[in-house]
Chain A
Amino acid sequence: MGSRIALLAVSMLVAWLPASASAQGGQDARVARGRQVVAQACTTCHTTLVRMLQVHKQTAEQWKDTVYFMISRGAQVMPDEIEAVAAFLAATSGNGRPAARDAGQPGRGADGAAILQRNCQQCHELATASTKADSEEWSAVVARMMAYGARLTPADQQTLIGYLNGIKK
């Protein structure tokens, strides 16, 4: 009897371990999917999304309400994407200091990868960066994003352009 209980406990533990890992993996996959959807469906209007996410910390349930009213306002989010978007927003929002404060500190240097990650990659995928061309084009892209509300010092803009230009195509 005792050996049967021990066997059951071990099998449960074995069953639980992959399940636990799978749940975590599922959450990561959901967040990753949410990020992709946000990049496609939200940044078309919310050009200052990075800043907004830094500012507005909400739970997944609260973000789900936000997603609902954005759907009603015209956001093109499909039914099976709602949870993923809310998960991504909850996982991302309120993290780190506002970019404007970081980037705006005098004399504070930042490497291109960090600037890209902090300011661009919450919405734009790295794949986007690796498909573009020369530094003149990147200058235009960065200028456009500045017009849309990105917050970078002139020095960080140049660092970012240089970094993007150097990414292996």
Chain B
Amino acid sequence: MSRTRKPSRRDFLAATAATGIALGIGPGAAAASQEAAGREPNTALPGEPAMYRGTAAGAVVAQLRAAGVRTLFHTNTSGFVPFFEAISAAGDVQVINMTHEGQAVAAAAGYTMASRTLGFFFGSHVGIPNALSNTYNAWKDRVPLLLTFSGGQGEQGTDGFESWDNTLGPTEAFTTWRGELASEEVTGTLRLAIKFAFGPPSGPVALTFGAGGERVEAPIYKIDPATMRVRSRAPSDVIETTARWLIEADDPVFVVGSQVGVEGAYAEIVALAEKLSVPVAETIHSLYANFPNDHPLFLGELQAQRYPRKQDVLVSFGESFTAGREDERGLTASGPRRIVHISHEPQALGRSFAPDLRILSDMRAAIRDLSDAVEGMLTKDRLARIRAGRLADVSRLTAGLKQSREIALRAHFDSSPVTWERVGFELEKVLDKDAVIVPELGTQYNKIYRQLKLGGANKQRIGRTRGDALGWGVAAALGVNLALPDRQVVALQGDGGFLFNQSEALWSIARYEAPMLIVIMNNHSYNESRARNMLNGGTFYEAGRDFNGYLGDPNVEYTRIAEAYGLRGEKVTRAADLAPALQRCLRSMRDGKAVVLDVDVAVDGAPLSQPTWYQRYSIADIRRKRLNG
């Protein structure tokens, strides 16, 4: 595997020659740089850009490097020769080849979410439609990405490949900005694009890539992705009001959302919840494990919330409440109460409901300010009394729920097909404490999540929000593995979702030796839709058939798909075989090879008398003409 390495001085000098960063030595582009002021990056004044002289494509590489971008995702196309030359010369930039634009965007998104940097993709403009489903997912998940497509705006509709006049038009719904990366103002445009990618709201930016071998002189800006997002801090009066409401409340609740994960403010939110023993919920579309799910204050999903029955204050930290009706139920189930919505994204504030207080603030700042305000309003004794009283109640509740989950786990512990709970249980036993889970599952996900210790110092979960387009998980997990090579990465993948164009990602997983585990939760059905279709009865339910859910006939041999890509495959059909199979998977991962683990898992929802029924059709049977052969 070609790994990113620290360049030697010799490599570095060669790179500067090709990428055109002026050092005053070297042939070609570097020679041109001698003609001008020749400022070196390390001699520029603070805040001043270094000057680049060389090809426009080289300027893109130089600017990306100055923004800390070293991993680029790509799908096959012509037209990027100058860009490849600059990448090659840079010496420390790795291109990850993918075989489908949509998978490449998913991998870039996974990489970005895990690394909290900036994802970059370049590919063909005729591949834009392929890229759209996972562009939508990245947009929905607010992932900062630069998606660049070959060709300039000047070529639109005229080069014979396509007939639409606005090359980036199809991306408009799912991008925060669109522009043209041309030789003129090349790094200025790129810098602007990066700013738009980090928002607010953050998300994908689409660019046509028209920067080629033209000679340019361009400023290179030092950009730190960690500080690119616009910072905000709430005025003290609204923080104090929230603190007072919290102190006066008998039954407050926190909702912890994805912005906590984006900012990595895990320790802060735990500390604040513990300060007042406030129970914590999440919504059904939480992108990360934002709060440790084994914490005695963690209640689970807001929508399912039963306790405390009559909440009087709800404070949301960084939840966008985009699930509509489900969120509304969660927000209204306990009746009237005060709702405080804190978000670092102004667009999310009060978008789907009307809170009593809307607070624009970074999560970390808001949590700390609120914590300070609470401390300032209470004596230590009173704080301790509030904390102790509530903690006992909430702990009793969460301990009871944990016991219920244990009963549910044991009810069919040895059943085959394997229960989802058992899969989670066995994974928890063998995975490292800091493993990363990348799920693409239906709403059964909690059966696994609640057997795993996720959030805080435990395993992390990256993805997936509700309503995402299928065909994301495996490539996203590859991106996560690229960003976190020292951690075990596990893609938890529904079989239905895998069949949405995901086998392509296995090629890149094999080529780049990503030693990850891909667990196919194989219930041979689109169970999410099947269960929902059957929920309220109807003609098909009464007939014991589901019209579209059955995924057998053919039953896909996922292990053989894995083997076709040179990966290892494991198949488990009996619960008793799961633990030994996982041990073999871990050994393979340890030795640097990915594994596809195909587990026959139980179907969820109403049982049907004809579960394998589908509307049969055979093209072979309707032939009227005898074919040669």
Contacts and interface: CB of A to CB of B under 8 A. Distances in A.
Interface of A: 40-41, 44-45, 47-48, 51-52, 54-56, 64-65, 68-69, 71-79, 82, 98, 147-149
A65 B411 contact: yes
Given A44-B333, A54-B537, A55-B536, A73 B401 contact: no
A89 to B, nearest CB: 13
A22 to B, nearest CB: 26
B303 A72 contact: no
Interface string B392-414: 00000000110111011101100
Contact of A45 (B299, B303, B450): B303
B400 A47 contact: no
Contact of A44 (B306, B400, B606): B306
Contact of A149 (B306, B412, B536): B536
A72 B446 contact: yes
In the A-B complex, the 10 residue pairs with the closest CB atoms: A55-B537, A68-B408, A76-B306, A72-B447, A71-B408, A78-B400, A74-B304, A74-B446, A72-B408, A68-B411
A45 B309 contact: no
Given A69-B604, A71-B405, A76 B300 contact: yes
Contacts of A72: 405, 408-409, 420-421, 446-447, 450
B407 A68 contact: yes
Contact of A73 (B307, B333, B444): B444
A64 B411 CA distance: 10
A98 B301 CA distance: 30
Nearest to B445: A73
B609 interface: no
Interface string B304-347: 11110100000000000000011001100100000000000000
A154 to B, nearest CB: 20
A71 B403 CA distance: 10
Contacts of B326: 45
Interface of B: 299-301, 303-307, 309, 325-326, 329-330, 333, 400-401, 403-405, 407-409, 411-412, 420-421, 443-444, 446-447, 450, 535-537, 541, 604, 606
A79 B400 contact: yes
22 contacts: A44-B330, A45-B303, A45-B304, A45-B329, A48-B536, A52-B536, A52-B537, A68-B412, A71-B408, A72-B405, A72-B409, A74-B446, A76-B304, A78-B400, A78-B404, A79-B400, A79-B407, A82-B404, A82-B407, A98-B537, A147-B325, A148-B325
Contacts of B299: 76
Contacts of B420: 72
Contact of B447 (A55, A69, A98, A148): A69
Given A44-B329, A65-B411, A98-B537, 19 more contacts: A44-B333, A45-B329, A47-B329, A52-B536, A55-B541, A64-B411, A68-B408, A68-B411, A69-B447, A71-B401, A71-B404, A71-B405, A71-B407, A74-B446, A74-B450, A75-B304, A76-B304, A79-B403, A82-B404
Nearest to B299: A76
A102 B86 CA distance: 73
Contact of B301 (A56, A68, A74): A74
A40 B444 CA distance: 21
A142 to B, nearest CB: 15
Most buried by A among B326, B404, B537, B541: B404
A56 B469 CA distance: 31
Most buried by B among A72, A79, A148: A72
Contacts of A77: 404
B306 A69 contact: no
Contacts of B536: 48, 51-52, 55, 149
Nearest to A98: B537
A73 to B, nearest CB: 5
Most buried by B among A52, A64, A65, A74: A74
A108 B395 CA distance: 51
Contacts of A78: 400-401, 403-404
Contacts of B535: 48, 52
Contacts of A54: 537
Nearest to B537: A55
B537 A51 contact: yes
Given A55-B541, A72-B420, A44 B407 contact: no
Contacts of B443: 73
Contact of B303 (A44, A68, A71, A149): A44
Contacts of B537: 51-52, 54-56, 98
Contacts of A48: 535-536
Contacts of B408: 68-69, 71-72
Contacts of A69: 408, 447, 604
A40 B309 contact: yes
Contacts of A52: 535-537
A71 B421 CA distance: 11
A44 B404 contact: no
A123 to B, nearest CB: 13
A75 B443 CA distance: 13
Contacts of B301: 74
A64 B405 CA distance: 13
Contacts of B409: 72
Nearest to A77: B404
A98 B400 CA distance: 35
B401 A76 contact: yes
B487 to A, nearest CB: 26
A44 B403 CA distance: 21
Contact of B305 (A44, A68, A73, A79): A44
Nearest to B333: A44
B165 to A, nearest CB: 41
Given A55-B541, A68-B411, A82-B407, A74 B400 contact: no
A118 to B, nearest CB: 16
Most buried by B among A40, A71, A148: A71
A155 to B, nearest CB: 22
Most buried by A among B309, B408, B537, B604: B408
Contacts of A71: 401, 404-405, 407-408
A75 B330 CA distance: 13
A46 to B, nearest CB: 8
Nearest to B604: A69
A68 B408 CA distance: 5
A45 B450 CA distance: 18
Given A48-B535, A52-B536, A71-B408, A76 B604 contact: no
A148 B326 CA distance: 10
Given A56-B606, A71-B404, A149-B536, A41 B306 contact: yes
Nearest to B542: A55
A40 B334 CA distance: 10
A83 to B, nearest CB: 11
Contacts of A65: 411-412
A140 to B, nearest CB: 12
A74 B408 CA distance: 11
